[in-house]
Amino acid sequence: MTIENGGKGEYDPEILQEIEPGVRKLVETLNLNGIVTYSSCEGHIGGRKEPYPWVTFREQDVDERSREKLVLILLEWNIQNPSRKWELPIVEEPITRDENIDLFFLSPSDKNRALESSILKKLQEEALELAGFLNICF
């Protein structure tokens, strides 16, 4: 997992080299289109990490127009790719024992698919395809 902006709310292109390859293009595409990402992970099999790629961003780091456009683009992606849907729920993430933040959590809708490395690799390829789709549509 990588924290992209450290809560500063601004995109730093230098951080791209630290982003895991399985989500790097998606993180870059989102940031270049006004969605300043907060954290990301390419997914990992075993251990305590999620077995699928994901990217988060905070509401205050994204202008409303860009966020709304992302939602519309995801809807179109999901229509065109019914077996490979992605979702964007809001999740509460603890940052200290007494403090939480709300994050938009972009990830595959069917998280149960990624229980083996070959499926995780396909989900990472899907994240790359989604990045290309976002690039075309933004």
With a cut of 90, say whether residue 11 has pLDDT above it. Answer: no
- The per-residue pLDDT for 19 is 93
pLDDT confidence band for 98 (50 / 70 / 90):
confident
Copy the structure tokens of residue 65.
């127009």
CA distance 90 to 61: 14
Give the residues across from 6 on adjacent strands. none
Q: How many structural domains are present in the chain?
A: 1
- The per-residue pLDDT for 72 is 97
Q: What is the mean pLDDT of residues 17-38?
A: 93
Q: Mean pLDDT check: name the lowest of 3-7, 62-66, 78-82, 103-107.
A: 3-7
Domain containing residue 124: 2-137
Share of the chain above pLDDT 70, in %: 91
Q: What is the mean pLDDT of residues 125-135?
A: 97
- The per-residue DSSP string of 3-64 comes to ESSTTS-S--GGGGGGS-HHHHHHHHHHHHTTEEEEEEE---SSTTS-SS-EEEEEEEEE-H
Compare 121 and 97 and report the one with higher pLDDT. Answer: 121
- The per-residue pLDDT for 55 is 97
Q: What is the pLDDT of residues 61-80, one digit of tens each?
A: 888 999 999 999 999 999 99
